[in-house]
């Protein structure tokens, strides 16, 4: 098996982008990634997208991306696993390169969420849950994570203020990220007093509807090292995926995500690393409670201690372990199909020392955590400076 | 738009509230499955589920998806039935402040949703908190 590296990366502006279609966004991030990868030929494409069928009435998107990039006749594959679509696509691209089938693979994640009204968007997103046994009861994604938040607060005595500190931190980080959807600083009081979405989660506990795309180009590490006109290669030293029950009610625990624990274990083992080796991480903070569970399930903090750790500033850019320096899904925005690849692109910037005002001090090892649905699919990726 | 067969074939779980019990390890699921998620046995029998349970965790939904706006704000709860089966249920006919972790509930039969303007009306289980007498 060959070692695999991220070479080119490309991320569009995230936000309400009325002037751009999903196609424009996918082409934009793809071209940026291809151009700064330094390769002259792409062998294969993966396009990750959650629900183009309901957001923009378009399926079969991978062929369109190949077509509009002028890369016809090579394989182009659409991947869908809810909000984890693009990290799942990354894993397939990794296997294709590691296995020797291709030498340069483009992975593009894209989502166009603002062509529909909010209630229709909420309905579309709810399709990532169990339609018949959750959706028919009126389940929304904020509701699923609110059920987790309520149980977490009950079991560990966590407070609304502690949960809110996740959103405050991520907005602060996003304010320095030029591509983020939000640049406004918010306070604990703003989060707690915001309109209720699904009790105990208010508007500022939730990631927004976002348009955006993100791309990476993967190559064999040895070949990437020989490229002279490209960005510094970043090695993927671990990548693992795990599943859990689709319906939240069937889980063994409501305060811990088993798929995160399992994918984390496998990724750490593959990379020969542990939680203590990670210098910076981007985790799937679709809701404030999701970041708290993630930093516990990945082994950075003891179960039940993540909320207090966040409130204490341990996860700030200058903290013990910087979590979501990009602003995370909460501040940067969450175009679902693009999120997993945006995390990889952001962490590659960190490891290259090119993250600007978001730069963490001298990181060598980074971890990305991308979660689909209410945790039925999780991918954990470990990146390293070569 | 839902077709009639899509609702009709769900009769056992949605209209008759039946689940599956593993004859080998005793694990009960709602709905019934072909394979036991605990011991992987395919020796599953269809059983009537108890109508009594308790709330494991809950939320109150204020921002509803399409088709549920009329119900908002509505509580949702993960309910554990007396035989251990767990399911997601909307809580109805209950004051919002009575919806609490550990409260006892009864499963009731209610309208779930109507698909589109001319779609059929789908019924199924919801739950109501049992008031202490």
ipTM: 0.96
Written as six digits, the tokens of A234 are 């970043």
Q: Which residues contact A20 (CB under 8 A, 6 or more apart)?
A: A12, A28, A211
Arithmetic mean of pLDDT, A24-47 = 96
Interatomic CA distance for residues A370 and A91, integer angstroms: 12
Q: What is the least distance, in Å, from the CA of B133 to any CA of chain A?
A: 26
Q: Could you state, in order of their start, the residue ranges of all structural domains in chain B?
A: 4-129
Residue A92 annotated as catalytic: no
Q: What are the residue ranges of CATH 3.40.47.10 in chain A?
A: 4-117+209-234, 128-206+237-331+346-385
Arithmetic mean of pLDDT, A263-276 = 98
Residue among A151, A198, A249 whose CB faces B61 most closely: A198
Please choose, from the candidates A354, A69, A97, the residue with its C-alpha nearest in 3D space to the C-alpha of residue A213: A69
**Can you name the CATH fold of B4-129?**
OB fold (Dihydrolipoamide Acetyltransferase, E2P) (2.40.50)
Is B1 a residue whose pLDDT tops 60?
A: no
Model confidence over A171-184: pLDDT tens digits? 999 999 999 999 99
Interatomic CA distance for residues B25 and B27, integer angstroms: 6
Model confidence over A198-226: pLDDT tens digits? 999 999 999 999 999 999 999 999 999 99
Decide which of 3.40.47.10, 3.90.480.20, 3.40.50.970, 3.40.50.300 is the CATH code for A128-206+237-331+346-385: 3.40.47.10
Beta bridge partners of A79: A48
Written as six digits, the tokens of A246 are 């689709």
Chain mean position to CA B56 = 13
State residue A47's pLDDT score: 98
For residue B73, give the chain A residue with the closest CA: A198
Model confidence over A306-342: pLDDT tens digits? 999 999 999 999 999 999 999 999 999 999 999 999 9
10 Å CB burial of residue A194 (0-12, 13-18, 19+) is middle
Residue A171 annotated as catalytic: no
Q: CA geometry: angle at A12 spanning A279 and A34, to 5°?
A: 85
Q: What is the least distance, in Å, from the CA of A16 to any CA of chain B?
A: 20
Q: What is the least distance, in Å, from the CA of B32 to any CA of chain A?
A: 12
State residue B81's pLDDT score: 98
Read off the pLDDT band of B2 (50, 70, 90).
low
The CATH classification number of A4-117+209-234 equals 3.40.47.10
Written as six digits, the tokens of A179 are 């591509």
Work out the mean pLDDT of chain A and round it to a whole number: 97
Catalytic residue selected from A171, A284, A334, A369 = A334
Cβ <8 Å between B88 and A249: yes
Three-state SS for A379? strand
Q: Are strands B86-90 and B104-114 parallel, antiparallel or unpaired?
A: unpaired
10 Å CB burial of residue A350 (0-12, 13-18, 19+) is buried
3-state SS string for B31-66: CCCCCCCCCCCCCEEEEECCCEEEEEEEEEECCCCC
Residue among A122, A143, A245 whose CB faces B59 most closely: A143
Is B115 a residue whose pLDDT tops 80?
A: no
């Amino acid at each position: 098996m060959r070692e695999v590296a991220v070479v080119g990366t490309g991320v569009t502006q995230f936000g309400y982008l009325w002037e751009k279609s999903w196609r424009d966004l996918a082409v934009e991030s793809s071209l940026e990634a291809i151009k700064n990868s330094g390769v002259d030929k792409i062998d294969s494409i993966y396009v990750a997208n959650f629900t183009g069928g309901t957001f923009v009435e378009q399926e079969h998107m991978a062929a369109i991306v190949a077509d509009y990039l002028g890369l016809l006749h090579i394989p182009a594959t659409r991947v869908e696993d809810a909000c984890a679509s693009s990290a799942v696509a990354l894993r397939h691209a990794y296997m294709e390169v590691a296995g020797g089938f291709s030498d340069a693979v483009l992975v593009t994640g894209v989502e166009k969420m603002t062509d529909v009204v909010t209630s229709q968007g909420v309905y579309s997103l709810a399709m990532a849950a169990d339609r018949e046994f959750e959706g028919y009861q009126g389940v929304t994604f904020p509701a699923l994570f609110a059920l987790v938040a309520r149980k977490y607060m009950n079991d560990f005595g966590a407070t609304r203020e502690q949960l809110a500190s996740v959103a405050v931190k991520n907005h602060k980080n996003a304010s320095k990220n030029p591509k983020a959807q939000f640049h406004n600083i918010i306070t604990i009081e703003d989060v707690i007093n915001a309109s209720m979405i699904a009790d105990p989660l208010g508007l500022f506990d939730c990631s927004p509807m976002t348009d955006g795309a993100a791309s990476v180009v993967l190559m064999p590490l040895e070949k990437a090292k020989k490229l002279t006109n490209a960005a510094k290669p970043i090695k993927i030293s671990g990548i693992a995926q795990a599943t859990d029950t689709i319906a939240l009610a069937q889980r063994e625990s409501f305060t811990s995500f088993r798929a995160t624990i399992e994918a984390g274990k496998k990724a750490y083992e593959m990379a020969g690393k542990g939680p203590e080796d990670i210098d910076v991480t981007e985790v799937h903070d679709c809701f404030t409670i999701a970041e708290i569970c993630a930093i516990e399930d990945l082994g950075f903090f003891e179960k039940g201690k993540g909320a207090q750790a966040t409130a204490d500033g341990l996860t700030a850019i200058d903290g013990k372990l910087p979590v979501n320096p990009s602003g995370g899904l909460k501040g940067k925005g969450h175009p679902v199909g693009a999120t997993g690849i945006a995390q990889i692109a952001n962490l590659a910037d960190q490891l290259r020392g090119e993250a600007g005002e978001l730069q963490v001090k001298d990181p060598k090892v980074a971890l990305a955590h991308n979660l689909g649905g209410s945790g039925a699919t999780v991918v954990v990726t470990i990146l390293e400076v070569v | 738009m839902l077709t009639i067969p899509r609702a009709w074939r769900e009769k056992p779980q949605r209209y008759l509230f039946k689940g599956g019990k593993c004859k080998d390890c005793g694990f009960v699921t709602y709905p019934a499955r072909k394979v036991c998620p605990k011991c992987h046995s395919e020796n599953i029998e269809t059983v009537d589920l108890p109508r009594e349970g308790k709330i494991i965790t809950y939320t109150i939904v204020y921002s509803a998806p399409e088709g549920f706006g009329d119900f908002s704000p509505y509580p949702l709860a993960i309910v554990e039935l007396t035989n251990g089966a767990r399911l997601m249920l909307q809580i109805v006919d209950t004051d919002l402040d009575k919806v609490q972790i550990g409260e006892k509930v009864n499963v009731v039969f209610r309208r779930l949703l109507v698909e589109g303007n001319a779609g059929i009306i789908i019924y199924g289980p919801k739950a109501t908190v049992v008031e202490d007498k």
